[in-house]
């Protein structure tokens, strides 16, 4: 799908960095304990017509290094989001800005043949 927008390279780069940072954050978050603070685990009641019992093991909480990395990634996500959202390019558009912003999210994808 060809794009009808001529996004500046710095805006495209910021959007791609935002995608990559979000993916890194989500991947990192999957390795963390379920609670940032130490919390006791729990086991839920057996549900009717099911053998499934929900439960969580005790959470040791985040280590200082984990908390620092989460904060770093969140700060970077905020910075990149602001960079994309406040880019001067958006003020040059007279049409549907939301449609243009959605197109930017896919601008890094290879064009279909």
* pLDDT tens sequence across 2-41: 457 899 999 999 999 999 999 999 999 999 999 999 999 9
Please work out, in degrees rounded to the nearest 5, the angle formed at the alpha carbon of residue 69 by the alpha carbons of 104 and 17: 15
pTM of the predicted structure, to 2 decimals = 0.83
* pLDDT tens sequence across 89-109: 999 998 899 999 999 999 988
pLDDT score at 110: 83
Domain spans, the chain: 9-34+63-105
Give the mean model confidence (pLDDT) for residues 69-93: 97
């Amino acid at each position: 799908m060809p794009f009808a927008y001529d996004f500046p390279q710095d805006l495209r780069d910021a959007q791609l960095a935002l995608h990559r940072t979000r993916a890194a954050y989500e991947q990192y978050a999957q390795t963390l304990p379920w609670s940032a603070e130490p919390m006791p685990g729990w086991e839920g009641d057996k549900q009717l017509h099911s053998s499934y019992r929900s439960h969580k093991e005790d959470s040791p909480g985040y280590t200082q290094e984990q908390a620092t990395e989460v904060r770093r990634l969140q700060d970077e996500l905020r910075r990149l989001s602001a960079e994309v959202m406040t880019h001067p390019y958006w003020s040059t558009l007279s049409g549907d800005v939301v449609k243009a912003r959605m197109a930017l999210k896919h601008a890094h994808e290879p064009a279909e043949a």
